[in-house]
Amino acid sequence: MRLYAVVAAGGFRRYATYRVATAAGVFTNTVFGFIMAYTYIALWDERPQLGGYDLSQALTYVWLGQALLMTCAMMGGGFEDELIERIRTGDVAIDLYRPADLQLWWLSGDLGRAAFHLLGRGIVPLVLGALVFDLALPRSPLTWIAFMVSVALGVVVSFAVRFLVALSAFWLLDGAGVMQICGLAGMFFSGMLLPLNLFPGTLGEVARALPWSSLLQIPADVFLGKHTGWGLIGAYAFQGGWALALLAAGRALQTVATRRVVVQGG
């Protein structure tokens, strides 16, 4: 357990090193937040209460999206590039020799990364957004805590998906294609481009049932107080269920994949 805490701290520190990049990222998130906020204002101006949100809830949704974009790695980005590279070059053999579990090792590092991105790239855009627009921030500290739990579950779901994608490199060797598809799906089905409540008919139902809705739609709805009491338990169960299922799939795939590793002497 201590080992994984150290790995997580390492993941945090690693991203904390790039201060200028973080500042540049905050700038980008803020610019996109502004552009999206204005498009949402135009949209809600035509149709108030669209998707069950009022305008200030919709604007809050925009800024939460910017705050969680990197935290939940919706477009990908994070450990998977590195793991794919290690699988391609064969360095993964060294990882397998370590007295640590491959999946837990990378999960710990990714949790550290997510924690840094939440602090480094999440808080400032949200605060800036709240200064300019009228956001629906929760009054009760309990809602904030409930939100944080939901974000944490979202990060685990995101990790579990990306771990599966990375492991596909054992068979494909080049993970670029799968990573791109995964990034696109993450961007679209997390609700980053538009809340999933606004997706019509079957598309909406499918989108809300897919794991990616755990990355933004559900945490945002928890933040906006749409899930309370048993509803909140249900939301957690949805996220936790996907997390466990995907982690288990990753574990199974890992067992099959490691049997394929042939260490060449040299």
In the complex, the residues that contact another protein under the rule CB under 8 A are 18, 20-21, 23-25, 27-28, 31-32, 34-35, 38-39, 41-43, 46-47, 50, 174, 176-177, 180-181, 183-184, 187-188, 193-194, 198-200
Closer to another protein by Cβ: residue 38 or 144: 38
Name the residue among 101, 221, 204, 106 with its Cα closest to residue 154. Answer: 221
Which of 49, 140 has the CB closer to another protein? 49
CB 254 within 8 A of CB 102: yes
Q: Are 142 and 136 in contact (CB under 8 A)?
A: no
What is the CB neighbour count within 10 angstroms for residue 184? 12
Q: To the nearest whole angstrom, how small is the minimum distance from the Cβ of residue 139 to another protein?
A: 28
Is the Cβ of residue 24 or residue 244 nearer to another protein in the bound state?
24
Least Å distance, CB 218 to another protein, is 19
Q: In 3D, which of 186, 221, 154, 220 has the Cα closest to residue 77?
A: 186
**Least CB distance to another protein at residue 35 (A):** 5
Rounded to a whole number of angstroms, the minimum distance from the CB of residue 21 to another protein is 4
Determine contact, residues 167/253, Cβ cutoff 8 Å: yes
Whichever of 85 and 95 has its CB closer to another protein, that residue is: 85
Cα distances (angstroms) measured from residue 48 to each of 1, 55, 59, 213: 49, 7, 12, 23
Q: In whole angstroms, what is the distance from residue 76 CA to residue 80 CA?
A: 8
**Nearest distance, CB of residue 181 and another protein, angstroms:** 7
Amino acid found at 127 = V
The 10 Å Cβ neighbour count of residue 233 is: 12
As a whole number of angstroms, the distance between CA 37 and CA 43 comes to 10
Would you report the helix, strand and coil content of the chain in percent, each value rounded to 5?
80, 0, 20
CB of residue 249 vs another protein: minimum separation in angstroms? 24
- Give, in degrees to the nearest 5, the angle at Cα 100 between 95 and 102: 55
Q: Which is closer to another protein, CB of 24 or CB of 123?
A: 24
Q: Which is nearer to another protein, 6 or 24 (CB)?
A: 24
The minimum distance between CB 157 and another protein, in angstroms, equals 20
Q: Which is closer to another protein, CB of 31 or CB of 206?
A: 31
* Pair 19, 121: CB distance under 8 Å: no
